[in-house]
Structure 1
C-alpha cells in the first residue's frame, strides 16, 4: 500500500527555534512529536538560501542553474516537469496550499496539482488573499490557521481509494513578524544572546562585514513592532530606495544621543541612551516576535497530526516538516539568511512514518533540498526521472545508508549585492567536518545592483573545531592539505551537477604549484 505524503514547509524557520533541536529558545511540542515518533535530521542543507530558488529546487529536484530559478525575481516556468506532475500521473491526488512564491499568472502558477490555493508574493498574516483557479479571494482570519484548514479539508474530501500528496506551505515566520493574537503575551522573559552576537567579522571575507542584515542597525520599526515616526532620514535610514515605500530602519545610537521608541500595540515607551542596551532591546523584540509566529505553526502542525490520528491515517502517512532555508537568530549579529554560514544553510527536517522509520531516530547524514523530490517518488513506487539531480533519502530514513552515502552538500547564492541586504554572491560545499566558500562577487549581477571592486575570496572553516565559524582557515598553512582536498571536492561536485565554476580549478592550481 503506497503511503500518503504530507510535506509541511514554513518560511525562514531556523532549526534552533524547534525545541527538538535543543536550542533552548522555545517549546514546540507538536513539532517535537515528529522527532520523537520519527527522525530528526541534523545535516539537511539548502542549495540556495533564499525562498524562491529553494522552492524551485524542491519541486523539480534540480539545482538552480538547471531550473533557472536563481533569484527572487526569476520565477519558475511551470511547463517544466515537477514532482507533483509525476505523482499525479502515478495515481496520487495532489494539492498545495499556502505560500508558493514561484511567480504568478498562467506561466508561473502551480501545475501538477488537483487542487491549489496560494498567497500572492509574501502574502499577509491577517485576512490574506489566496489565489486559486477562480482568481483571488480574501479569507478572513490568521494565515497559518487558514492554510491548515485548507489542507485538512483536502484530506477530508479525498478519494479514499487513492493515496494523496499534500504540500502545506506556511508563510510564517517570515518577516514582518505578526503573531496570532492569542500568542501576543508569550515570552515575557528575555532570551539569551547568542555567543557570536557581537561578532566583529575579523579574519573573514569582506561579505560578512558588508552585509546589511545586522539586528542592531538594519531592522525596521515594523520588524520590531514599533511606531515609525513621521519624518525623513533623521528618524532612520530607508529599508530600500523606492518612491512609494517609506519603511525605515530603527537607527543606531551614537554616544550622547537619546532615542524613545513606542510599542505599536500597547503604546508603551522605551527610552535609551546606551547603544549596547538599544542593540539588545532590538534583539529581544525581534526574537520574541519571531518565536510567537512559530508558535502558531506548532499549534497547527498539532491540529494536522491529531486529524491523521482520528482518521486512522497516521501509520501509512509520511509527514515531513521543514523550512525553505535556515535563518539567523542573532548569530553573528544577523537576522535573515542568504549566506552559506551554518545557521542559514541548515534546514530543519523532521519526518515521521510509523511504517518505515524508527521512532526517536537522529541522523547526521548529509542531504539537501534537491533530494526531496526523488524521495517522494521513491516512496510512491515511481521511477525517479533522469533529469532530477537529487538522491532518494529513503536509505537515511530506514537506516540503511552506508559509508557510500553522499558526503558533500553544494550551495550557490546568485543575488550579488541585492539592494536590501547587500549579500555577496558565493558558492561552496559542506562536508561532515569542513566548509569551503568562494566569494566570487559576480560582476554580472542579476538583479540590477552595481557590482563593486571586491576581489574574490576563499573561506575555509573547520566546523568541528570552530562550530560558530569565526576563524577562516583558507590561508592557514596547517590547513593547506584540507584546502586542496576541499577544492578538489568542489570541482568534482560542480562537474557532477553541471554548474560552471568562477574559480581556478584544483588541477590548474596543482600545475602552477608544480
Structure 2
C-alpha cells in the first residue's frame, strides 16, 4: 500500500511539473535573443572605450556589458558580411559551408545542418527578423521575415514565406517592432525561443533614421592617429586597396552631398521623410559647396560627414537594443533570457584612412561581442580570451543544453562565460579572405593571430608575408617579417599556421579550386 501511494505521489508530482507555469519550464532551457548588426565597429561601442566613447555613447548596448560580459578579442574567420553569417549559422569555415564570398551569385546551402535546426530539434521555437544576406531562403526557422538582398533603409521591403511586401518607415525601427511582436507572440508558450534580430544598420550608405538625422550634425569627432597613413612599412595590399576616405568614398551616395536628385535608398523617401531629410542636409550641402575644400581639408570634411551619419545609424540600433531589453523586463522574461550583441565583423572608422573591412588587420578582424546571461555571468566582467564567430553556433547549443554536432568546427565558450576558461583554450586563430578582384580591391590572404603576434600571407595575386607585433605596434604600421629579431617568432607562427590549416581542413587545393571558379565571375568588377 505504501509503495502504491509513493508511485501515485511521484506520478502526480511529475504531472504537476510538466503542466506547471512557463517560468518553471523555462528555467531548464533559457531563451536566446541574438541581436546582430552589420558593419558595427567595436570602436563605436562606448563600453569598449576608445576615442568615440564620450562623443557617441551607446548606453543600451553598454547595459549588456554592465549586466554581463564583454569580449575584447572576438575575431572572425573572414571579414565580410555573407561569409560571416554563413559561419555563424553553420559553425564552420566558409570553405566547408560553401559560402566564402559575397560575389559570384553565391547562395548558402540551406540543406546543411545549422544551429537553428538543432535548436528546433531540441524543442526551441526559432525566428529570424531583418537582414539575411545569404541568397537562399532561410531554413531552420519557425518564423522568418527578412530583407531581400542588402535591403533598404527607408520604406524597406521584407521577404516572407508568402512573398515580398513593402512597409513604410525606417528599417531599424521596423525590425525592432517586428522583433517585439515576435516576442509577444511566444511569451506564453511552453517552448523556449531563439530569436535572431538582424539589423541592416550601420551598413554603407549610412542613412540615419528620422529620429537621428540631426543627432551629430554639430559634433566634431576625434580623428584616428592613422587617418593620413601613407602605408610605408607594409606590402602592396595595403598600398593598392580601394577603400580610402580620400579617393573611394563618394560625395553623393556616401556623404549625401547630392547635386540634384537623391540616390541610393534615399530615392525611396516619401514627401514627409524628404522634408525632414532636406532640413538637415541642405545647410551641410550649402557649406560644402561654398567651402571649396581640397587636400587634407577635404579628407577631414569627408571623415566628419562619415562619422556623423555612421554613428547616427548606430544610435538608432542602440535605441532598438534598449527597447528590446526593456520589453523583456516588462514581461518578466529578462531573468531567463540570454541577450547577445555582435556584428558580422569589424569596420574601419578612418584608421589607416579607410572605411569598410576585409583585411586581417585589427579593426576589421575584431568584432564586438557582449553577452548577458542572468544568474550565470558575473555582471560587468570582461574576457581577453580569443573567441570567434566560428564559436557562436556551438555556444548557443551549449547554452540550450544540447549536444554540439561533430561537424561544427568551433568551440563553446560557455565555460568562459561562467568564469572558467579551459586550460586548453585556443591561443591562436586562423583567418582566410577570398574576394578579389572585387569591391575595394583587397588582395586575398590568410593568416594566424595570437594575443600578441599576427602573420599574414597575401597569396595568388602577390606572394607577400607580413608579421606584426601587436604589443609594440598596436596600429600595425611596421611589417617585421624580415627583421632578424623576430626570426624565432616567425618560424613558430609558420609552424602553427600549417597546423591550423590542417585542423580546419583548409588547403591550397581548395583555395585554388575556388579561385579558378570565381575569377571568371569577379573579373568584370574593378
TM-score interval w.r.t. the shorter chain?
A: 0.7 to 0.9
Alignment length (residue pairs): 458
Taking the aligned partners of 2:193 and 2:293, their CA distance within structure 1 comes to 58
- Please give the residue correspondences for 1:171-250 in structure 2 after superposition, counting only pairs within 5 Å: 171-187=200-216, 188-220=218-250, 221-228=252-259
Taking the aligned partners of 1:206 and 1:502, their CA distance within structure 2 comes to 25
Q: Does 1:12 align with 2:39?
A: yes
Q: Which moved more, 1:152-161 or 1:348-357?
A: 152-161
- Which residue matches 2:146? 118
Q: Does 1:396 align with 2:424?
A: no
What is the DSSP-based 3-state SS (H/G/I as helix, E as strand, rest coil) of the residue aligned with 1:287? helix
Taking the aligned partners of 2:465 and 2:88, their CA distance within structure 1 comes to 28
Taking the aligned partners of 2:293 and 2:401, their CA distance within structure 1 comes to 64
- Which residue matches 1:269? 287
Q: Does 1:326 align with 2:346?
A: yes
Taking the aligned partners of 1:21 and 1:210, their CA distance within structure 2 comes to 31
What is the DSSP-based 3-state SS (H/G/I as helix, E as strand, rest coil) of the residue aligned with 1:421? helix
- Which residue matches 1:440? 459
Q: Does 1:421 align with 2:452?
A: no
- Which residue matches 2:107? 75
The structure with the largest alpha-carbon Rg is 2
Taking the aligned partners of 2:451 and 2:299, their CA distance within structure 1 comes to 35
- Which residue matches 1:54? 84
- Please give the residue correspondences for 1:4-153 in structure 2 after superposition, counting only pairs within 5 Å: 4-25=31-52, 26-73=56-103, 74-103=106-135, 108-153=136-181
Taking the aligned partners of 1:101 and 1:211, their CA distance within structure 2 comes to 24
- Which residue matches 1:488? 495
Which protein has the bigger helix share? 2
Kept in 2: contact 1:225–1:265 (CA 8 A)? no
- Which residue matches 1:252? none
- How far is 1:417 from its partner? 2.3
- How far is 1:264 from its partner? 4.9
- How far is 1:273 from its partner? 4.5
Kept in 2: contact 1:43–1:364 (CA 8 A)? yes
- How far is 1:408 from its partner? 1.3
What is the DSSP-based 3-state SS (H/G/I as helix, E as strand, rest coil) of the residue aligned with 2:164? strand
> Please, what is the CA RMSD of the aligned residues?
1.9
- Provide, for residues 377-417 of structure 1, a one-character-per-residue CA deviation record: whole Å limited to 9, x for no partner: 11111110011000001011111113321111211100122
- How far is 1:81 from its partner? 1.0
Taking the aligned partners of 2:348 and 2:254, their CA distance within structure 1 comes to 14
Taking the aligned partners of 1:407 and 1:279, their CA distance within structure 2 comes to 39
- Provide, for residues 125-161 of structure 1, a one-character-per-residue CA deviation record: whole Å limited to 9, x for no partner: 1110000011000111111111111111111111521
Taking the aligned partners of 1:84 and 1:273, their CA distance within structure 2 comes to 51
What is the DSSP-based 3-state SS (H/G/I as helix, E as strand, rest coil) of the residue aligned with 1:182? coil
TM-score normalised by the chain length of structure 2: 0.85
1:295 to 315, 318, 324: 315
Kept in 1: contact 2:344–2:367 (CA 8 A)? yes
Kept in 1: contact 2:213–2:280 (CA 8 A)? no
Taking the aligned partners of 1:342 and 1:8, their CA distance within structure 2 comes to 23
Taking the aligned partners of 1:160 and 1:502, their CA distance within structure 2 comes to 49
- Provide, for residues 162-181 of structure 1, a one-character-per-residue CA deviation record: whole Å limited to 9, x for no partner: 10000000000001111111
1:462 to 458, 469, 476: 469
After superposition, the Cα gap between the structure-2 partners of 1:458 and 1:311, relative to the gap in structure 1 and judged at 3 Å, is same
Taking the aligned partners of 2:426 and 2:465, their CA distance within structure 1 comes to 24
- How far is 1:263 from its partner? 8.3
Kept in 2: contact 1:227–1:264 (CA 8 A)? no
Taking the aligned partners of 1:429 and 1:147, their CA distance within structure 2 comes to 36
- Please give the residue correspondences for 1:350-429 in structure 2 after superposition, counting only pairs within 5 Å: 350-418=370-438, 420-429=439-448
- How far is 1:501 from its partner? 3.9
- How far is 1:489 from its partner? 0.9
- Which residue matches 2:199? 170
Kept in 2: contact 1:39–1:361 (CA 8 A)? yes
Taking the aligned partners of 2:155 and 2:230, their CA distance within structure 1 comes to 42
- How far is 1:272 from its partner? 2.4
Taking the aligned partners of 1:318 and 1:189, their CA distance within structure 2 comes to 35
Taking the aligned partners of 1:60 and 1:459, their CA distance within structure 2 comes to 30
Kept in 2: contact 1:440–1:502 (CA 8 A)? no
1:497 to 493, 500, 504: 504
After superposition, the Cα gap between the structure-2 partners of 1:137 and 1:229, relative to the gap in structure 1 and judged at 3 Å, is closer
Taking the aligned partners of 1:128 and 1:284, their CA distance within structure 2 comes to 27
Kept in 2: contact 1:226–1:263 (CA 8 A)? no
Structure 2: 5+ residue stretches without partners = 1-27, 265-278, 511-526
Taking the aligned partners of 1:157 and 1:478, their CA distance within structure 2 comes to 62
